[in-house]
Amino acid sequence: MSTTEVGDVAWNLEPLVDGEGPAGVDRQLDEAAERATAFAAAHAGKVAAFDGPTLAAAMEELAGISELIGLAYSYASLQFSVDTADPKIGALMQKVQEKATAIETTLQFFELEWAALDDALADQLLTADGLDTSRHHLRNARRYRPHLLSEPEERILTEKSVTGRSAWSRLFSELTSAIEVTLPGEEEKVALDVALSKLYDPDRAVRAATQQAVTDALAPGLRTRAFIFNTLLADKATDDRLRNFDSWLSSRNLSNEASDESVQALIDAVKGAYELPRRWYRLKARLLGVDRLADYDRMAAVATADEEFGWDDARELVVSSFRDFSPILGDTAQGFFDGDYIDAPVRPGKRGGAFCAYVTPSAHPYVLLNWTHRRRDVLTLAHELGHGLHAALARPRGVFEQHTPLTLAETASVFGETLVFGRLLEETTDPASRLALLAENIEGSIATVFRQVAMNQFEHAVHTARRTEGELSVDRIGELWAVSQEELLGDAVEVTDNYKSWWSYVPHFVGTPGYVYAYAYGQLLALSVYGRYLEVGPAFVDDYVALLSAGGSKSPEELAAIAGLDLTDPGFWQSGIALVERQLTAAEEAAEAVLTEQR
């Protein structure tokens, strides 16, 4: 049996454009533009006179136009994500954004006229046949009514976004993707993701040297990235003011279908449990034989060697873990490998990290990785394929309801990762290896729940400061970053001066402000879903598949109810945090067993 080399695991994007390459992008956008013009000619100024069948037909046509734009955009953006340095790909990406924005502007009247309808008329229209895959979307669109401007104003903001917010975000991606790090003792520079993986090294000298090398690599473009950040902070402040949002986070909460109050309750609950990560870091200092951790020690492996995984072994482990839970999930996951829907190797100019692109319901989702053969890469594969399963199973919901709000977007990914973690733990008998696994598990929850809330607090501080103090210096941003991290870590971890610039490669702060708390929301929800599975057993499988298949066709509360959870319960977040504490307790017990054995 042949062994798959990770370097050969590349996706094939040609199905998105019927094998026509960039010419296919032009064809799709031209067709979308032609259909949008015809749609506007037929319906602009007339939405208030719609009957049910007319609304259903209009939504079907808008879905078709959105599919064409989505295919063209996905082809260009996924090409860009694996080679941000190629000017031809960058130009294609820009062309798609410009043409898509023009089409969006042509169709903007519909959203505004729909939102302006009398409530009674809108409710009556929503009972029409033919809206099964757009009814929730249409209800949601009306929630933006207090924040919409006039049609001419909306057209101007949309058209200017191409050379404004979108352009700055693209520049940030290109700059961060080009960062290369000179590691001590290495002749050739490596990508930022490769360098950051060295922070898992069990040798503290390697970790400290890596931190210095990464900080040195971040320095040359730091002022430029800070200027981009400042510009987008100011842009968002202007947008929020024009749209009458109460706070910098309110627009994100609205898109997440979450009230400001419920999100604040989540943040307060997590901050109130900051002692949990501190407990772990104090214990980890003992495991590593140091008095106190530094920031570059937090992800250090507690085992002397990290197990390496070949691509084929990782694929088999993940797919079989999913299949043991549900044949539907296993077969769907296998399809990602069979159809060339994954791009795995680290390459120069490739975007860092990992993600799953939903694309559009008419096409298969894609997954991007930066594979370094570590055990955490296996869990990342499981995580992103969890997203992929969610995307694939929700395809029948159509273009308007395939996506969930961000607050539920992590449910399937964390659940999938937890399934694979359980398999790894089950197959590991050596005490030191079990400790390493349990350590990774609790550190994953710390990173996803507590660190993301600390990052939310940094965003809160930096958005507030930009609005009250004006343009922020590199030092001021670094100070706000350090304060948010020190609040999380307390006396358990030293936040070094070097770490003050590490905010500057995080894409969420620039591309999707306010995003990060959704990780904490999703992690705690997913742990509760998994806890429900442990409680109910095999009977839960059908409910879970139904949850994923529902996509974004219901509110977060209604979707969670499919899995038997009540998000309206004030104690819900505390119950999720209790599950994290259970993870911590298991890791502590394993650590004490290893320490006792060593004495």
What's the length of the chain? 599
Q: CA–CA separation, 404 vs 412, rounded Å?
A: 11
Round to whole Å and give the CA distance between 41 and 62: 14
Which pLDDT does position 307 carry in this prediction?
76
Contact 288/189 with Cβ under 8 angstroms?
Answer: no
**Cβ(81)–Cβ(351) under 8 Å?**
yes
Residue 442's closest CA among 312, 278, 235, 267?
A: 278
Mean pLDDT, the chain cut into blocks of 10 residues (599 residues total): 83 96 97 98 97 97 98 97 93 94 95 95 96 96 92 89 90 93 90 91 94 97 97 97 96 90 90 97 94 96 77 96 96 96 93 93 97 90 97 97 89 92 88 87 92 97 98 98 98 97 95 91 88 91 96 92 87 88 91 80
The sign of the dihedral angle between the CA atoms of 482, 220, 515, 377 is: negative
For position 374, what pLDDT does the model report?
Answer: 86
Instruction: Give 78: exposed, middle or buried? Use CB within 10 Å, 0-12, 13-18, 19+.
Output: buried
Largest Cα separation within the chain, whole Å, is: 81
Beta-ladder partners of 371: 345
Give the single-character DSSP code of 4.
P
pLDDT for res 375: 85
CA distance 486 to 363: 44
pLDDT at 1: 45
pLDDT of 199 reads 94
**Is the distance from CB of 6 to CB of 371 less than 8 angstroms?**
yes
Looking at residue 599, its pLDDT comes to 67
Full set of structural domains in the chain with CATH: 6-163 (1.20.140.70)
What are the tens digits of pLDDT across the range 317-333?
A: 999 999 999 999 999 99
Half-sphere exposure of 282 (CA within 13 A, CB side): 9
Secondary structure of residue 15 in the 3-state scheme: helix
Task: Please report, for residues 244, 475, 479, 481, 494, the alpha-carbon distance to residue 470 in angstroms, rounded to integers and kept in the order given.
Answer: 20, 14, 15, 17, 30
Question: Are 486 and 495 contacting, i.e. CB atoms less than 8 angstroms apart?
Answer: yes
